[in-house]
């Protein structure tokens, strides 16, 4: 089993957490906010494209 923090930059996770009020020690909180920001940005980029479905 792979730990989720291996897949992401530790510094970016801590930075995202701090931006939302978590502490350096709250890695899971930081990871939550990091992934949330990434998913929101991805969703916003998808909306800019005109993708037709069948």
Per-residue pLDDT 10s for the chain (54 aa) are: 567 778 888 899 999 999 999 998 999 999 999 999 999 999 998 888 877 665
Q: Which residues form the domain of 36? A: 7-47
> Is 39 inside a domain boundary?
yes
Considering only CA atoms, which of 5, 32, 16 is closest in space to residue 24?
16
pLDDT the model gives residue 49: 82
Q: Is residue 34 part of a domain?
A: yes
The reply to whether 1 falls in a domain is: no
- 54: Cβ contacts below 8 Å, ≥ 6 apart: none
What pLDDT was estimated at residue 8?
87
pLDDT of res. 22: 94
């Amino acid at each position: 089993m792979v730990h989720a923090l291996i897949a992401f930059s530790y510094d970016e996770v801590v930075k995202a957490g701090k931006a939302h009020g978590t502490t350096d020690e709250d890695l899971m909180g930081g990871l939550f906010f990091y992934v949330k920001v990434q998913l929101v940005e991805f969703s916003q980029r998808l909306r800019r494209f005109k993708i037709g479905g069948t």
